[in-house]
Chain A
């Protein structure tokens, strides 16, 4: 089932949670709503589920008006961050709930319920836990049961609110791969909310980046990462160095030429150049268009080496491969020259001007 969100707005008192959101989710797609806390992503998800009503705008399911449809009639599966399993019911009864509350005419027979529940528990690989209570399960197990419960009513849409937010890193990674597989097997549309960019980029077909109740960018994970539409998206998706034309003249000039060609920056106005730490090369000798900087610190972190450098009291972060770092043999206090491999320039918005040189 496709979901179409048209011009949705929502306020809580004077706080604008959503401001004219438009979004189309085609059937079968797995979409991530990504943004910092308070950006409105959870509110949007709850409006799709019918747990919150929008002040203005419409929600369409398969092209049909669903704005005023009650949550129980929407046929959506909802998965909560803190699982929301029924604590006084066994795992089996939790999963069976959606079947048992159906009107008498539609309710499957007991044998059928048992079979469906055990099939679902098999799908989430937890059929051996059927008689346990939620309190006897680990966090990852609870979330998988919550998923099985949501899937029991055969929803057309699966909505997940920070589904892995309360789990530790290792379990989170396992579960999100598993969610991806599950989504592909079930042929449903899924929307999940997250503030973890890695999670969104890894799992989703499409990423919707939100900020302050608005959509900043919609695109494939690769698009939003390598071609961010706004300074916010650049900074939110991974580490980034921000250079001011005012402070880092030479560099921003290089960037400005490119940007001017692309028509992206204002004429002659102040600009910001965004460069990811791994897109900067370090040279020991002067290079044309290079920025001179002093090495402040060298941290080897797993497979990469993070180098902190200073240029005119501004901090710059560079990530090198171990091999490159070994070849350079950097030492504290050493003067080196930096050259960006890829720069993206934006006209400087007011709110970023105060930040100084580094967005890290």
Chain B
């Protein structure tokens, strides 16, 4: 069509803007991603595979997955509870709670890590008591779990609060007036309505849990084969000039990120479809 809208920009402006955006993406996202795989495969596929099955790398991958696996159920629990409290009830300190949920976003991860050293470290507030009872948190997996939990806490709650606020409490009240108990209401009405939002939050939290560096780095102590997660392991290998090892480990992270991206897109698409379905215009009433 040769017509164009009066407010449309000239063709060359649109092309230029698109080119700038794409070029930027290619330069800062595509190129580094490509570089990771090129470097990882620089010494050939056998060397790449050998680097991956190297025990310390394998341990790092498993530790990262373990941390994510433990942290995510807690995130779901806290996230749903917090979102429910905020979306359904009015209470004093509600706005303070909303602000606190965002705290991990606002605080630098390194500061968060230091915070836990201060609390649980050898010279921290609870340090002496912990060492008396022979329980290690700092420079051990429990500390890394706590740090990761702190960092990933907001994702699920942030995703669910606006969702539950727009959905309102009518359906839940309807369920109760029909005789449903609290659990029945939650499992049959609340959860099915928020499941896609919840999954979306979990995917984001998972990506962050796997990729977290700063906070975990502070509390881990970098003990090889013990408290090294995948991102920490990448750094160690790189500092030892083991480029193939470092980039091979990094490629695992990159692959996990790509999987996350695909999962996120699918969930987003489902969520969009559901909202569209709900907001669809009603067909005119037919008189029978």
User: Do chains A and B interact in one complex?
Assistant: yes
Please judge, given known A-B contacts A101-B188, A125-B288, A171-B285, whether A135 and B280 are in contact too, CB under 8 Å: yes
A88 to B192, CA, bound (A): 7
Q: Tell me which of B180, B192, B285, B286 contacts A101 (CB under 8 A).
A: B180
Q: Which residue of B lies closest to A75 (CB)?
A: B179
Measured between C-beta atoms, what is the minimum distance from B243 to chain A in Å?
Answer: 51
Q: Which of B167-175, B211-219, B253-261 forms contacts with chain A? A: B167-175
Q: Which residue of B lies closest to A84 (CB)?
A: B170
Please encode chain A, from 60 to 90, with 1 for each CB lying within 8 Å of some chain B CB and 0 for all others. 0000000000011110111010101111100
Please judge, given known A-B contacts A72-B181, A101-B181, A101-B184, whether A138 and B176 are in contact too, CB under 8 Å: no
Which residues, 177 to 226 on B, are CB-close (under 8 Å) to A?
A: 177-181, 184, 188-189, 192-193
Q: Do A72 and B180 touch (CB < 8 A)?
A: yes
Q: Do A84 and B171 touch (CB < 8 A)?
A: yes
Asked whether B287 is an interface residue with its Cβ less than 8 Å from the other chain, the reply is yes
Please encode chain B, from 25 to 63, with 1 for each CB lying within 8 Å of some chain A CB and 0 for all others. 000000000000000000000000000000000000000
Q: Do B175 and A97 touch (CB < 8 A)?
A: yes
A85 to B192, CA, bound (A): 13
Kindly list chain B residues whose C-beta atoms are within 8 Å of the C-beta of A101: 175, 178-181, 184, 188
Q: Do A97 and B288 touch (CB < 8 A)?
A: no
Kindly list chain B residues whose C-beta atoms are within 8 Å of the C-beta of A87: 171, 193, 278
Please judge, given known A-B contacts A88-B193, A97-B188, whether A78 and B277 are in contact too, CB under 8 Å: no
A84 to B169, CA, bound (A): 9
A137 to B284, CA, bound (A): 9
Measured between C-beta atoms, what is the minimum distance from B171 to chain A in Å?
Answer: 5
Q: Tell me which of B171, B283, B287, B288 contacts A86 (CB under 8 A).
A: B171
Please encode chain B, from 245 to 288, with 1 for each CB lying within 8 Å of some chain A CB and 0 for all others. 00000000000000000000000000000000110101111111
Q: Do B285 and A102 touch (CB < 8 A)?
A: no
Q: Do B283 and A98 touch (CB < 8 A)?
A: no
Q: Do A76 and B177 touch (CB < 8 A)?
A: yes
Asked whether A350 is an interface residue with its Cβ less than 8 Å from the other chain, the reply is no
A168 to B285, CA, bound (A): 9
The interface of chain B, by Cβ under 8 A from chain A, is: 170-171, 173-181, 184, 188-189, 192-193, 277-278, 280, 282-288
Pairs across A and B, CB under 8 Å, 23 listed: A50-B177, A51-B173, A51-B176, A71-B177, A72-B178, A80-B174, A84-B170, A84-B171, A84-B173, A84-B174, A87-B193, A97-B178, A101-B181, A102-B179, A137-B282, A138-B285, A140-B285, A141-B285, A149-B178, A150-B178, A153-B179, A168-B285, A171-B285
The interface of chain A, by Cβ under 8 A from chain B, is: 49-51, 71-74, 76-78, 80, 82, 84-88, 97-98, 101-102, 125, 133, 135, 137-141, 146, 149-150, 152-153, 167-168, 170-171, 174
List the 8 shortest-distance A-B pairs measured between CB atoms, nearest first. A84-B170, A98-B178, A78-B177, A101-B180, A84-B174, A140-B285, A138-B285, A88-B192
Task: List 8 additional A-B contacts (Cβ < 8 Å) besides A78-B173, A87-B278, A153-B179.
Answer: A51-B176, A72-B176, A77-B177, A82-B170, A84-B171, A97-B188, A139-B282, A170-B285
